[in-house]
Every structure is written in structure tokens, then in C-alpha cells.
């Protein structure tokens, strides 16, 4: 702990670090460790059985795949949205900008009910998608992705906007004057500078999607083994007074999420290697 002993001009390091650790413990670590503590009520075999039951495995697959897909969709379209919002003036820009935050504010159940109404077989989109194209969205896996995309969008847009605003126009000019086409400039100069923020936004949207429950339960149909997400499985177990089983599944989900977020973090650090090369 060299940093604790080293003299620094910034006062209050000890105090603020102490507070940070205390606060994090209170809000995050203690509740989370309670989850793990509760699982100890189970024997090892019971724990394994709960965590790796076919129903649980199916729910992990659905949760992670749907969250990943939703985060990827958000990363792609969020990037375009943020770019347009920063770079181009257009009438009603402020309204559009405010709309981006709506998924934050809307109760997720409302979002879920609305999306279900739209995408079910007799909804506006669903009628056409299902009737004409034969694509089943609501009460199927794509429905889960739709709901998770909806709630994750603001994370990507809001993390990218300030970074796009800070991009120096000279860099794009320098690239153009060296003979690069617009596409080359975007790909080789602009995009690499956005990657760290894009990864952050992606990680946030992904993490948010993993934990989402309220909107998904309305649109997914909740069929075990097919469209049941892990948070719902946990709630179902709780409703059946299987507290230990619920926490076992939850801890498995937690561990997996933590590893994935850590990986994204490392990837993000690697993408910024040129910033702190010293």
C-alpha cells in the first residue's frame, strides 16, 4: 500500500478512501455477500443441482445471449444516434435528445406492457411481423431482446455523446488532407477514439440487461426452458419459498456477470493503452 504512505498534495486521501470502502461495503458488498451466505444452507450436491439444473442452464443461456444481443444492437445504433445528436443540427434536436433518457425514467413494467402490446400478434408491429413475415417477437426470444434493447439504449448514447463532442475537428481535417476518404477517416481516426467509451456503454447496457426483470416478464411469455430469464427463475424460486435455491442461482449469475464485466473492463483498458502509455 505504497499510496497510503506516500506524501501527496491532494489532501484527504485516507478519509475519502475509507469512506468509499465503507459505503461500497454497506451498499454493495454486504447485500451481495448475504446472497452467498444464504447458499451455504445447501450442501455442495444440492448447490450443484440447483445451479446446473436444466431449467437454470436454459435460463442462463437465454439471459446472457439476449443481453449480449441487446447490448450489441444498442452499441451499433446508439453510436449512430449519439453521432447524429452531436454532429448535426436539426429541428427538434432537444426533444430527441430528451427522448433518449425516457427508458431510464419509465417504470420497466410500463415498457414491458407497451412493447408486448406492440409486438403481440394483434399489435401494430406484431400484426405485420407475424402475419406477413412470420416472425414471432412477443412471447419468444426476440421479444426479450427487444425489451432489453429498449432499456439499455440510454447507456450507450449518454457515454458516447461527451466523447464525440470532445473529438478535435483538426484530426479529421489532418486525415482528409493526407488523402484519406471520409470512410477511411471514420474507420481509422474517429472510431478508434470512440472505442473506449463504446465499450463502457456496451458494458453498462449489458449489465443493465442482465439484471432486468420488470419489462421482460411481460413480453417473454416466461416458458421454462424456452423464454425464462434467470431473474425470473430466481423470483419463481422465491415464490416457492426455495430461498437457498434462489440464492444459489443468483450467485452463479453474479459470478458469471462479474467475470464478463471484468473482461470488458480489461478490453477497455487495452483500447486506451495509448492514453496512459507513460
Kindly report the length of the chain: 278
| For another protein, the closer CB: 61 or 188 | 188
Can you tell me which of 61, 162, 173, 225 binds another protein, judged by CB under 8 A?
173
Q: Grid coordinates standing for 78?
A: 446508439
Q: What does the alpha-carbon distance between residue 188 and residue 174 come to, in Å, rounded to a whole number? A: 12
Q: To the nearest whole angstrom, how small is the minimum distance from the Cβ of residue 188 to another protein?
A: 7
DSSP readout, 230-254? HHHHHHHHHHTT-HHHHHHHHHHHH
Among the candidate windows 125-133, 183-191, 232-240, 258-266, which touches another protein by CB under 8 A? 183-191
**By CB under 8 A, residue 179 contacts another protein:** yes
- In the complex with another protein, the residue whose CB is nearer, 13 or 191, is 191
Tell the smallest beta-carbon distance from residue 251 to another protein (Å): 39
Residue 172, SS3 per DSSP? helix
Contact by Cβ (8 Å): 138, 120: yes
- Residue 175 engages another protein in binding (rule: CB under 8 A): yes
Segment near another protein (CB under 8 A); pick from 45-53, 151-159, 171-179, 200-208: 171-179
Nearer to another protein, 239 or 277 (CB): 277
For residues 93 and 142, give the distance between their C-alpha atoms in angstroms, rounded to a whole number: 30
- Count interface residues toward another protein (CB under 8 A): 22
Q: Which of 16, 33, 184, 265 binds another protein (CB under 8 A)?
A: 184
Pattern 247-276, another protein, x by CB under 8 A? ---------------------------xxx
Task: Kindly calculate the radius of gyration of the chain based on its CA atoms and give it in whole angstroms.
Answer: 22
- Asked if 168 touches another protein (CB under 8 A), the answer is yes
The span from the CA of 142 to the CA of 167, in Å, is 36
The three cell numbers locating residue 22: 465503507
Query: Which range of residues in 68-76, 77-85, 178-186, 204-212 is near another protein by CB under 8 A?
Result: 178-186
Piece in contact with another protein (CB under 8 A), picked from 60-68, 102-110, 117-125, 174-182: 174-182
Nearest-CA neighbor of 208 among 75, 79, 84, 117? 75
**Which residue in 32, 49, 180, 267 binds another protein (CB under 8 A)?**
180
Q: Does 193 bind another protein (CB under 8 A)?
A: yes
Say if residue 36 is exposed, middle or buried (CB neighbours under 10 Å; 0-12, 13-18, 19+): middle
Q: Which of 174, 176, 123 is nearest to 146 (CA)?
A: 123
Interacting residues of 256 by C-beta distance below 8 A, sequence separation 6+: 60, 64
Stretch that binds another protein, among 42-50, 134-142, 181-189, 217-225 (CB under 8 A): 181-189
Binding site for another protein (CB under 8 A): 168, 170-171, 173-181, 184, 188-189, 192-193, 274-278
Amino acid at each position: 500500500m505504497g499510496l497510503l504512505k506516500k506524501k501527496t498534495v491532494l489532501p484527504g486521501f485516507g478519509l475519502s478512501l475509507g469512506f468509499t470502502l465503507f459505503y461500497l461495503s454497506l451498499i454493495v458488498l454486504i447485500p451481495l455477500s448475504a446472497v452467498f451466505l444464504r447458499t451455504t444452507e445447501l450442501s455442495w450436491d444440492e448447490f450443484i443441482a440447483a445451479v446446473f439444473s436444466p431449467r437454470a442452464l436454459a435460463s442462463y443461456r437465454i439471459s446472457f445471449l439476449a443481453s449480449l444481443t441487446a447490448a450489441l444492437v444498442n452499441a451499433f445504433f446508439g453510436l449512430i444516434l449519439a453521432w447524429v445528436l452531436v454532429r448535426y443540427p436539426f429541428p427538434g434536436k432537444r426533444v430527441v435528445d430528451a427522448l433518449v433518457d425516457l427508458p431510464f425514467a419509465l417504470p420497466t413494467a410500463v415498457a414491458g406492457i407497451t412493447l408486448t402490446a406492440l409486438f403481440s400478434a394483434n399489435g401494430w408491429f406484431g400484426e405485420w411481423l407475424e402475419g406477413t413475415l412470420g416472425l414471432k417477437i412477443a412471447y419468444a426470444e426476440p421479444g426479450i431482446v427487444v425489451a432489453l434493447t429498449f432499456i439499455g439504449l440510454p447507456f450507450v448514447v449518454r457515454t458516447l455523446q461527451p466523447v464525440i463532442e470532445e473529438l478535435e475537428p483538426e484530426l479529421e481535417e489532418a486525415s482528409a488532407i493526407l488523402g484519406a476518404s471520409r470512410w477511411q477517416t471514420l474507420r481509422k481516426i474517429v472510431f478508434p477514439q470512440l472505442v473506449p467509451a463504446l465499450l463502457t456503454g456496451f458494458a453498462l447496457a449489458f449489465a443493465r440487461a442482465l439484471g432486468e426483470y420488470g419489462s421482460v416478464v411481460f413480453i417473454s411469455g416466461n416458458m421454462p426452458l424456452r423464454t425464462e430469464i434467470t431473474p425470473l427463475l430466481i423470483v419463481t424460486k422465491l415464490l416457492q419459498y426455495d430461498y437457498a435455491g434462489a440464492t444459489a442461482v443468483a450467485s452463479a449469475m453474479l459470478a458469471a456477470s462479474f467475470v464478463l464485466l471484468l473482461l470488458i473492463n480489461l478490453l477497455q483498458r487495452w483500447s486506451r493503452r495509448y492514453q496512459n502509455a507513460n
